[in-house]
Structure 1
């Protein structure tokens, strides 16, 4: 096993429980804006929003979608489906959603235990495609900022995962070579393929055991606590 110096981690749905926190925030927005006028159940609204949001983020990862279009379109789309074409409402929904979302503290199961374990052995860094205005607030709300020596955000440097240059920037900030680092992430495309193409070993956090149709990662786990057996 390589003697790693640094462990890089993705933030959303690797450390910070984006799925749970996002659903809580969206339910508050659904209630506050009386979106039951358009969607009789929250579950229907959540499904419609989430499917479109995933599609838009996949485009954003690869530079085929701007941040400005993403944050408006993901809320405008569900409204348009029910005959409401209101861009200003979509923008207000996004602003209030992000405000609620960034204050929520829930972490992925096992994340704090893993961070406690890792920080005693390695320097830690975050590499995230999230937005500046929310990622730092999420880190503060969940009380995990002290674990990390560097936080590299695509929104700050203008390069998204999986592009190798965001990983190179993280290596540069840590003053290490690719062989000295390993990346932990839940998104095969952004985290695993991106690290792989930069020569960084990877631990694919795959709690749903999604099939891997491309090159196998260096390691794969279904629980964060399994990482302790690897590092």
Structure 2
């Protein structure tokens, strides 16, 4: 049976590119390089816990349009470091600068990503819709080997609108030459990817590798990437 879909739109971070692994590797490298365990008198795991909580909260505010890109970048490390005590602002600024350079160069992908994309590439035109920053997302795509699989890269900071707002989905459809009926949005975030796509009239695949419980009913829910070709390419 021929799939009704022609265009597949993927989220990037946490969906294809393993954000947690790559971010943590970069933070561990820099924390050791700057000898921050001694400067802050805090083990790296305590810092990581504080940073991730602050970063997640700021990204939520960014998606809601309540903080800017520059504010997000500046505040996440400043607040994380200051929660353990004073640290020279120049050190914080340098740490942030090096993190933004180092983290996108990490190449860990979610399990089965390349195999899944390779299987689907011959049958579908694939694109990215991301709330990440364009300059860093391009580095991630190139370094991790993902770039050749995708045609359109739609970044929220370029458009000035974040998922789950319909405008970013509509703009991606237009740039890809796709329409709502022949497109499928695939992502790991129920609010941002799944409900955003649903509210735009686009079918959705919820990538839920941890099997987290919820009350939503996406078009399809999967835990491993091997399930997506099995669904889309069924005879």
The normalised TM-score by structure 1 is 0.95
1:197 is paired with a residue of what secondary structure? helix
CA contact (8 A) 1:62 1:162 kept: no
Alignment of 1:127-138 (within 5 A): 127-138=129-140
- CA deviations on 1:59-84 (whole Å, 9 max, x unpaired) are 11121221111111110112211221
Alignment match of 1:147 (pick from 131, 146, 149): 149
- 1:154 Cα deviation from its structure 2 partner: 0.7
- 1:40 Cα deviation from its structure 2 partner: 2.9
CA distance, structure 2, for counterparts of residue 32 and residue 169 of structure 1: 42
- CA deviations on 1:91-148 (whole Å, 9 max, x unpaired) are 2221111111111111110100111011111000000011122110011111111111
Residue 35 (structure 2) aligns with: 34
CA contact (8 A) 1:6 1:125 kept: yes
- 1:39 Cα deviation from its structure 2 partner: 4.5
Question: Quick one: structure 1 residues 92 and 54, their matched pair in 2 at CA, closer, same or farther if it must change by over 3 Å?
Answer: same
CA distance, structure 2, for counterparts of residue 183 and residue 118 of structure 1: 14
CA distance, structure 2, for counterparts of residue 39 and residue 137 of structure 1: 34
For structure 2, list consecutive stretches of 5 or more residues without a partner in the other structure: none
CA distance, structure 2, for counterparts of residue 53 and residue 177 of structure 1: 34
Q: 2:25 matched to 1:24?
A: yes
- CA deviations on 1:29-86 (whole Å, 9 max, x unpaired) are 1111111021432111111101111111111112122111111111011221122165
1:149 is paired with a residue of what secondary structure? coil
Residue 120 (structure 1) aligns with: 122
- How many positions carry a matched residue from both structures? 230
CA contact (8 A) 2:42 2:84 kept: no
CA distance, structure 2, for counterparts of residue 74 and residue 202 of structure 1: 31
- 1:89 Cα deviation from its structure 2 partner: 3.1
Residue 156 (structure 1) aligns with: 158
Residue 169 (structure 1) aligns with: 171
Stretches of 4+ aligned residues off by more than 6 angstroms: none
For structure 1, list consecutive stretches of 5 or more residues without a partner in the other structure: none
